[in-house]
Amino acid sequence: MPETLSLQGGRALVTGGASGIGAATAQKLSALGAQVVLADIDGTAAAEAVATGVAKGFVTGNVADTGDADRMVQDARDAMGGLDMVFNAAGIGDDLMPVHLQDPDRWQHVVDVNLKGTYLICRAAGAIMLENRTGSIVNVSSIVGLGAFPGRSAYGVAKAGVIHLTKTLACEWGSSGVRVNCIAPGYTKTPLVRDLLDRGVFDPGLIERRTPLGRFAESEEMANAAAFLLSDWASYVTGTVLPVDGGWAAYGAAGDVDKSIPTKA
C-alpha cells in the first residue's frame, strides 16, 4: 500500500459531477491521479466542468432511468477503457412538507432520483466490476438518512434506503472483490443547500449551533472522505456508513451544543 494516498491509474465515474460534492470529488480524484468521467443530467454544466481539465469526458442522462443509467456507465467504461470506481452523488432536494400534505408524485420523484438512481448506477457498474473481480463504489447518503427530520420524509426515506442498499451490495459483492461504502454528509455549502437557504427552509444559525464543530462543511471535505473510501487505503472497509457531519450524528443532548467548555477545572 502506498504511503501517500494515490488513485494513479484508476478509472472513475462520478454522477452528479457537474456541481457540488460531485464536482469537488471529481477534482479530488483527478488530482490523485485517476481518470474521471462525469455523469450529469445537465450537459452544459458537465461540458463546462470538463473544460477545466478535471475530467476526461462526460455523459448525460437521468440516473433514475434504467436505459440512461446503463448507457452512461457503459459509455464511461468505453471512454476510459475500464471502470474501477464509482462515486454516486447525483441527487435532488425535497420540499419541507409534512407527510399528509405532500404531493405523492413529488415524493416519488425525490425517491426515484436519490435512491433508484443510486441503485441503477450501482447495478450497471457492479456488473462490470464483478466480471473483473475488483472495484470500489461510494454512495452518498445524508444525516437525514440517519435520523428523522420532520418535513423531509421523501429525502430521508431515499437516503436511508441508500444506506441499506450500500450494506446489501457490500455483502453480496464482497467475496468478488468489490467494495461498497457510503458517506453521510452533514450540511454542506452546495448549490442544493444554498437553494434551501435562499428559500428560508432552515436557519443557518440553528444548524451551526447544533453542530459540534460549529460550521457548515465544504464540498472538498466530502471529497476527501470519498477519496479515502474509494482508495486502497480503505482496502478492508466495506458496507460502512461514514458520517462526515461535524459531529451532528454523535450529538444527543437537548438544545444547542455547549461550546463554552472551560479549559481548566
Q: Which residue has the cell 421523501?
A: 154
Give the count of alpha carbons within 13 A of 99, CB side only. Answer: 7
Enter the C-alpha cell of residue 169.
451490495
Enter the C-alpha cell of residue 54.
478535471
| Three-state SS at 171 | helix
Spatial neighbors of 260 by CB under 8 A, at least 6 apart, are none
Closest CA to 98 of 32, 150, 30, 44: 150
Check: CB of residue 121 under 8 Å from CB of residue 75. Answer: no
End-to-end CA gap in the chain: 44
Which residue among 119, 155, 187, 236 is the active-site one? 155
DSSP letters of 81-118? TS--EEEE----------GGG--HHHHHHHHIIIIIHH
Does residue 119 carry a catalytic annotation?
A: no
What is the b/e burial string over 232-250, where b = at least 16 CB atoms within 10 angstroms of the residue's CB? eebeeebbbbbbbbbebee
Check: CB of residue 74 under 8 Å from CB of residue 121. Answer: no
Amino acid at 140: V
Residues tagged active-site:
155
